[in-house]
Amino acid sequence: MHKQIFLNIAVDNLERSKAFFAKLGFTFEPRFTDQNAACMIVGENIFTMLLTKPFFSTFTSKPLSDPSTSTEALICLSCDSRAEVDDLVAKAVAAGGTAPRKPQDYGFMYGHGFEDPDGHIWELAFMDPNVPMPERPAESATPAAN
């Protein structure tokens, strides 16, 4: 099994992105941070590489998407409480991000999110272990026709 996760995202202004995420409480691994990239520590073995667009482009032959106008991915982080979800969204908005939608409460799961200054969507979710998940409807016994 894999030991670490590195999520790579392209950013317009590396210093702006580092300042934004620092205001949310994230720190950076200096060994993997320079003028082209910043290694943001998300969890014990989870990292987000904030890469300048020219540097990011060296890793792919495909054109970069503009996260302010199209969705390239939904990045979801787990939180320990509803309060932590709301606190991180408030910090993100205060630091220059946006919260494009209202919180979603499903009883067993509470979620909200924000967009960073580049438009990347960061979802935040708290799964309440004391609330049972709703039962899924039974699948049809008849297979789909081919």
Q: 50-106, pLDDT tens digit by residue? A: 999 999 999 999 999 999 899 888 999 999 999 999 999 999 999 999 998 999 999
pTM of the model: 0.83
Cβ-based neighbours of 109, under 8 Å, separated by 6 or more: 125, 126, 127, 128
CA distance linking residue 128 with residue 5, whole number of Å:
25
The pLDDT value given to residue 136 = 72
Superfamily of domain 72-131: 2,3-Dihydroxybiphenyl 1,2-Dioxygenase, domain 1 (3.10.180.10)
- Tokens representing residue 146 in the block: 């081919």
Question: Which CATH number does the domain 1-59 belong to among 1.10.10.10, 1.20.1440.80, 3.10.180.10, 3.30.70.260?
Answer: 3.10.180.10
| CA max distance for the chain | 57
pLDDT at 18 over 90: yes
- Tokens representing residue 130 in the block: 């004391």
Q: 22-63, pLDDT tens digit by residue? A: 999 999 999 999 999 999 999 999 999 999 999 999 999 999
DSSP state letter for 59: G
